Amino acid sequence: MGKLTDNAIKGAFARARREQRMVRLADGGWLTLLVLPNGTARWQQRYRYGGKERTVSYGSFAEVSLAEARTRAEKARALLRDGIDPVEQRRADKAEKRRIVENTFGAAAQQWFDFNLPRWKPATSEKVRQYLDKDLLPPLRLRPLANITTQELDDVMKRIEKRGAHNVAKKSRQWCKSIFRYGIAKGMTKDNPADLLGDIADAMPESTNYAHLTFEELPELLRALDRYEGSPLTKGAIWLALWTANRPGITRTLRWSELDLDDALWTIEKGRDGMKRGYAHLTPLPTQAITMLRDLRKISGTFEHVFIGRNDPRQPMSDAAVAKALATMGFKGRQTAHGFRHLVSTALNERGYQADWVERQLAHGDPDKIRGTYNKAAYLEPRRQMMQQWADLLESIQNSGGNVMPLRKESGKRR
């Protein structure tokens, strides 16, 4: 039991001021209170460890009460009984706290990204970087790894799922799990709160066809596109989707280095991010697309991507930009970015073009497995004619004020 009382402590303060010297009060168990003439006091505990006398401090009397000081002193005595030096333990505890504070999710994610970058294909690294910067780092960057809970991570995933990006949430769960595994291996944390995220994830919605207009409804869209006063880059991405029927992820991340405007060709290398199974693909560009791209070069030609991000031109346009533009034009729930592929495919098939040409234009199947005389060019020349005729048809609808054009098969399409 300690010997100090409130009265004894008050008397020590008065004595130290009166005698202008330090007064030492013992509480038992090696705990003492050092009272100074200036009216301050601090807790101290002396002990012997390894044959040497050592001292540990517990802070000022103003901040640490007598009861709390006794509790700390008892913990120190318990450590000594276990053969542990209290001073070394405090240093270890401080180092652990410092490690926890310094080892944030942002630091771990960057180290994990840099470690895996040489192992990833460019397509993978670009997708990981995009998801990190958009969804994971903003809420988690400064959070210590050791303090992040499964519930906190699940809240982040729920925000992603809320906007309908269930595949993004699925990938984010996988990457969070991998980041924490890396952190554990590097001694940055001890637990992986992402391990159980899959057990509490929302069920993936049943796959449905992407919303798209019919050919008869297309004039309405073209009229709205003419009136659209938003970014010319977003407008250009919509037109390019209509002119080429490429996948939305490929279109919005189009790089200037992939374009040969003189040859009217867009070359997508094997392994490109956004291409299903990483297939290579050649996309012929109609003259309308060439004209538009030459105009857009004045806006984004000094950057890597054609359709640059609104907030960061070093990044491609966000995957929500086209959806937002379509909603602004009044087509929310009626037309999606991916739905342009359905619209174009249906229209081309109904106009009598060869199914093989349409399928290759949509990049369905591995081009390396195409046999016959069109193997190398992947039906490039007939597709070039087909897509130019399609672009001309769109232009004629546009120039006619968006009037519905008769849908008819044109002669000479099947060969």
The catalytically annotated residue of 276, 297, 334, 413 is: 276
Catalytic site includes residue 47: no
The catalytically annotated residue of 210, 228, 279, 374 is: 374
Catalytic site includes residue 18: no
CA dihedral 210, 215, 216, 217 (to 10 degrees): 40
Distance CA 44, CA 49 (A): 16
Whether 382 contacts 415, CB under 8 Å:
yes
Give the DSSP H/E element, type plus range, for residue 41: strand 41-49
Catalytic site includes residue 342: no
The catalytically annotated residue of 77, 170, 338, 413 is: 338
* Ramachandran category for residue 294: left, alpha or beta (phi over 0 → left; psi -120 to 50 → alpha): alpha
CA atoms within 13 A on the CB side of 358: 18
The catalytically annotated residue of 281, 341, 342, 383 is: 341
The catalytically annotated residue of 42, 72, 235, 247 is: 247
Distance CA 143, CA 414 (A): 61
Helix axes 86-102, 66-81, angle to 10 degrees: 110
Q: What are phi and psi of 368, to 5 degrees?
A: -65, -15
Catalytic site includes residue 247: yes
CB-count exposure of residue 383 (10 Å: 0-12, 13-18, 19+): buried
Which amino acid, residue 27? Answer: D
Catalytic site includes residue 228: no
Catalytic site includes residue 383: no
Catalytic residues: 247, 276, 338, 341, 364, 374
